[in-house]
Structure 1
């Protein structure tokens, strides 16, 4: 990648090669899984020739794959392998299982644990709920938008304003008629979540689904993830939401404490 590195340094003395690579990889999202070189160049602000060289170099090391028509690129399997390594070594992954299973038993509903990757929520653990609730969690790697799920909104509400604006700029696609697609309404929703301490998803990502999510903080207090209880709208009426929401917050706080976060009023 030496040729790309020298070219990148010529393009901008303020940006390192690593930053250039990051900009290319961050062009992709759940909503935009495949992009042409021209689209990547537009999103990164690079000349098309530079963007093409980066795509070729990233393809060679497996960070990008090229489709059969050779017109578009998508994220490569090497990133998934690295991601699995990261997840398996994260303190959160090590600490989550008892908490997830405890919340499943307490709520008698499904539970999801997701990590915020700066753009979307990557789900790393799930337990089924309902009448046949089982006391065992499953590790998985899936992603979903952060603006229309309870775990996503619980995490997004506590991110800096530029991060929220980046999500808005990427487009608020309507998955259902309940999806919040107006930027001002989303910002107001996030403000309410910060005050209330938990987020609600009222059929915004999938119809007839209701979820309650709360943020998880690391030792420095940064919200890095969220946990949620998920059920149908019939199984989670307002009366049950009022009872389950404190449980979700308590379990999220318990995980935060295990990660080193010191909650005011809680002895270490």
Structure 2
């Protein structure tokens, strides 16, 4: 009886459900709009012809990766008292004294600024730690020569893995403000010993940081890192795709034990 009464109350309800057979979500094109888009004059995609051919045969590991660069970011950079990020912390005792003791007998709404000054004194630390997330721990070339695997970490040591396209890489100047002409094709990346002379800054058009896509993200290759294949790394940083047609895959456990990608 109660179930029938519940059904009868629906007849007197003023709220009517609206059903549509083909519901279009906001932003999704209809069939007519999509057909019109496909028949219009679209820009023809021109494939980039920049291709680097290594002199020697490329040797991938069993996962189809070639490690190009590796660095210990949190060992090469100061963590506890980074300069100049630690300078605002020197004002924390003064701000706490001015807020707690209040020697000038200021009003509470005026003395609160000293409390906020003490709290914001540690903000440069967080900015320093956040920027170190975009320093590359390991850079690997995938089989095919068009995609790079990037590994970066935070202060807890947790590592994230993401993949970027080589044709979306642009070389930056040392001040990280301007793009080098022609992706820095005339710039020097490695020295005669095959290592980096200075930090290398690159700008990636699309970089997935912890599941979020970031536009024009700036990545850093530290000079303290180790370069394993200088010629390929120099070509990749300049935006050249690598010809991986001449390759072999190493499956020997005795040799793979010494590879940098073994101990993750």
Per the TM superposition, whether the score is higher than 0.5 is: no
Q: Which has the higher contact order (CA 8 A, sep 6+)?
A: 2
User: Which one has a larger percent helix, Structure 1 or Structure 2?
Assistant: 1
What interval of TM-score do these two structures reach, taking the shorter chain for normalisation?
under 0.3
